Amino acid sequence: MNNKLWQSLANAWKIPELRVKLLFTAAMVAIYRFGCYVPTPGIDEDALEEAVRSGAAGVLGFLNLFSGGALGRLAVFALGIMPYITASIIMQLLTVVIPKLEELAKEGEQGQKVITKYTRWLTVGLASVQALGYVAMFEGMGGVIDFTWWRGALIVTTLVAGAVAVMWLGELITARGIGNGMSIMIFISIVSGIPSGIDKLITQSPISIILFVVIALAVIVGVIWITTGERRIPVQYAKRVVGRRMMGGQSTFIPLKVNMAGVIPVIFASSVMAIPATFAQFVDNGFFNWLEQAFNPSAFLYLVGEAILIVIFTYFYTAVTFNPIDQADNLKKYGGFVPGVRPGRPTAEYLDRILTRLTFPGALFLAAIAVLPWFMFRFMDVPFYFGGTSLLIVVGVALDTMRQMEAQLLMRHYEGFLK
């Protein structure tokens, strides 16, 4: 097994195009990690460290995790990729609701460029609001910021520019590198916190460590199993005469995955659930204090809400990525049909029914894996780096990236990683 893995890595490195993609992705990741350590001007670093440590178990710790520790230093990239993710969620929801955006989405590449432009501007707006909130919050935390209007404007401008730079790096990875840039950024942010998490984990009792390892391995196996699972819908192409040649007659299949949305619903759900507690920190009164506690990442209400959102976003993202009507029309256009099902609308309804039934257990499985480990981890004082959500994201992104590399290898007749 190890020999095959190293041979696959060697094969990947031999392909010039794939080698360039890997090096480009590594360069973008290096720039991102460098920006996570460049301090924002006008910050008292000692006071900031103490403030973040006091909120490590709450939403500040959660946001610090997703920013790769940059928030704990209030670095240039402190906002991380979260404003861009939130903007993407809002735009995808608006695309379903607003007819004009829906028309743009159907216009192909040109329409997608316009939607991307709107997403970028929305990212700038959300980053500005979030940066203002952080300045207001840290200014009241033991002198983290010696506030003046000029210094506040400088910090906000720096943080917004950092968020735009992270968004740009993510888009570059998606366009020219390996994997989804947004997912890669979050993957790197979580992985960067694992060494410090291990230091804390080894202070636990041997039984707790063994129990954690068993749970973590079960989560990893479960994610791989559900991510690679699929149902193959048989498709038959009718024979037809083109000139003097007989064309068609082949049998193939449509692979419908149990979890077609991948790890994106987990990232979206985590982002949305962090919004109430984030804004609650900026206001000090009874209701907002309760809101901050209720939507703390270790709170029961947070986990229930996250599980529900994972199910909803799994269905939503599956509907965005796979359109049964378009699939049925394409089959009909090229003379294909599902045995026992009439072409056209009946085929679309059949595919939609199968996909709906197939997505339900996949969505429940993702939600359960994201939530259930909490019941064990809360009694073991295990860092959030090793929570169900984090493991889901890390394993899911790793699988998606390996699958893209696999496709590149198979195109050149090499044996891939997943053999």
Give the model's pLDDT for residue 28.
Answer: 92
Same domain, 279 and 184: no
Domain with 118, as residue range(s), is 17-192
Q: Are residues 27 and 136 in the same domain?
A: yes
Residue 416 lies in a domain: no
User: Looking at the predicted structure, is the pLDDT value of residue 299 above 80?
Assistant: no
Q: What is the CATH number of the domain that holds 182?
A: 1.10.3370.10
Mean pLDDT, all residues of the chain:
78
Is residue 418 predicted with pLDDT exceeding 70? no
Clarify whether residues 171 and 312 are in a common domain: no
Same domain, 201 and 184: no
Q: 105 and 236 share a domain?
A: no
Q: How confident is the model at residue 52, as a pLDDT?
A: 66
pTM of the complete model? 0.75
417 in any annotated domain: no
- pLDDT digits 0-9 by tens, 237-282: 776 655 566 555 677 788 888 888 777 788 788 778 777 776 766 6
Q: Higher-confidence residue: 100 or 406?
A: 100
Q: What is the largest CA-CA distance in the chain?
A: 84
262 and 396 Cβ atoms separated by less than 8 Å? yes
Considering the chain, what percentage of its residues have pLDDT values greater than 90? 7
Identify whether the C-beta of residue 269 lies closer than 8 Å to the C-beta of residue 306: yes
Whether residue 3 is predicted with pLDDT greater than 60 in this model: the reply is no
**4 pLDDT exceeds 70?**
no
**C-alpha to C-alpha distance for 267 and 281, rounded to whole angstroms:** 22
pLDDT greater than 50 at residue 81: yes
* DSSP secondary structure, 104-127, as one string: HHTTTHHHHHHHHHHHHHHHHHHH
| Cβ pair 66, 82 in contact under 8 A | yes
Q: Residue 1's pLDDT is what?
A: 45
More confident residue, 65 or 363: 363
